[in-house]
Amino acid sequence: TASGILFHDEERNEAGTDSSLGSRLRMQWWRDAITGIYDSMDSSHSGLRQQQSSSSPDPLLNSLVASRKHNPTLRSLEQAIRTHGLTHTFLRRLMEAREVDLDVVQYERVRDVAQYGEDTVSNVLYLSLECAGVSSTQSTTS
């Protein structure tokens, strides 16, 4: 899907820049934002109403919440998650691989490059299959 590809590109760009604190914070922002989407879905499915105050005493927290609401890539990804029931595990694996990539200058073995491909590109393909209506069990057993 377009949202999955945008997310993949944004994560790749972030991981490809450097391993600075700023890059790590940005990766954490993505992890928290995506986990928040799944947490809100779990709360609504269990019948619990998630209570969010419109304003927090912490201006930094307010800024982070606002940035999530206004990020077009995240909004598109959230729509895809809700519409197609995308598996959180695939997104989590992709984020974890990108975070590891912050520390890698060059892979030492071909096996490591292959694993990186599995952890990144394969997960994007699995998410694309889910958007096309193919479940993860069908895609991994075919």
Tracing tokens 């928290």 back to the chain, one arrives at 32
Give residue 58's pLDDT. 75
Give the model's confidence band at 89: pLDDT under 50 very low, under 70 low, under 90 confident, else very high: very high
pLDDT digits (tens, 9 = 90+) for 95-107: 999 888 888 878 8
pLDDT of residue 48: 39
Whole-number Å distance between alpha carbons of 120 and 36: 21
CB contact at 8 A, 7 and 131: no
pLDDT band at 43, cuts 50/70/90? confident
Q: What is the pTM of this model?
A: 0.71
Residue 131's φ and ψ, nearest 5 degrees, are -65, -25
Q: Exposed, middle or buried, 49 (CB in 10 Å: 0-12/13-18/19+)?
A: exposed
Residue 105, amino acid: V
Q: What six digits make up the tokens of 116?
A: 């990186």
3-state secondary structure 41-66: HHHHHCCCCCCCCCCCCCHHHHHHHH
Mean pLDDT, to the nearest integer, of 33-41?
A: 92
Average pLDDT over the chain, rounded to whole? Answer: 79
pLDDT at 54 over 80: no
Nearest to 99 by CA among 27, 35, 31: 27
For residue 44, pLDDT over 80 is answered with no
